[in-house]
């Protein structure tokens, strides 16, 4: 299973269509974005090529390929305003394994390992991320990869009839 990260340099209709499909997939939408209500959770979000072009100004986005099949994306924002620990040069990480065929097969592990190696080579001191309290599989993945909890933001997102915390985790790269 050769996993690769390919930097996204330019928005296209095909990538926007794929991201919209993933970001509105009822099987994973609750894992991707926070919601304050059931209505917000099920509301459809549509990105445009212009939206993705604008996002590329502030995010490094890497497409995750399993062999030659696009299965997900990982994105990084440097010194994001929502970092819990505002250490200069920190990377905020977002991960989406959008294709069912990429889940539970080590794709996330391989992609995050490749990304950490890339960020370490760039001199990034640490990675921070948030994982919703109900997402036990992702929490275990991050722990396995050396991330540890640094904070909890209570009642951060709504899912399955209740509010859940955002567990903030970090990994030192230096």
Q: Are 1 and 66 in contact (CB under 8 A)?
A: yes
Query: Is residue 34 a part of any domain in this protein?
Result: yes
pLDDT at 140 over 90: yes
Query: Is residue 118 a part of any domain in this protein?
Result: yes
Query: Is residue 26 a part of any domain in this protein?
Result: yes
Closest CA to 31 of 92, 72, 76: 72
Query: Is residue 29 a part of any domain in this protein?
Result: yes
CATH code: domain of residue 65: 3.40.630.30
pLDDT at 43 over 80: yes
> Could you report the per-residue pLDDT of 11-25, keeping only the tens digit for each?
999 999 999 999 999
Q: Which domain, by its residues, includes 75? A: 3-129
Instruction: Tell me how many domains the chain contains.
Output: 1
Query: Is residue 96 a part of any domain in this protein?
Result: yes
Average pLDDT in the chain: 97
């Amino acid at each position: 299973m050769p996993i690769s990260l390919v930097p996204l340099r330019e928005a296209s209709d095909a990538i926007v269509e794929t991201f919209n499909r993933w970001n509105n997939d009822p099987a994973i939408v609750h894992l991707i974005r926070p919601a304050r209500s059931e209505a917000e959770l099920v509301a459809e979000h549509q990105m445009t090529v212009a939206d993705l072009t604008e996002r590329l100004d502030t995010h490094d986005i890497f497409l995750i390929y399993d062999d030659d099949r696009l299965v997900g994306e990982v994105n990084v924002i440097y010194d994001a305003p929502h970092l819990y620990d505002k250490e200069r040069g920190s990377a905020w990480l977002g991960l989406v394994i959008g294709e069912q065929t990429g889940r539970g097969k080590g794709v996330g592990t391989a992609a995050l390992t490749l990304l950490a190696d890339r960020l370490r080579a760039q001199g990034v001191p640490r990675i921070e991320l948030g994982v919703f309290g109900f997402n036990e599989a992702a929490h275990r993945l991050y722990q396995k990869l050396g991330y540890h909890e640094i904070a909890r933001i209570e009642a951060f997102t709504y899912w399955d009839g209740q509010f859940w915390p955002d567990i903030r985790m970090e990994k030192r790269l230096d």
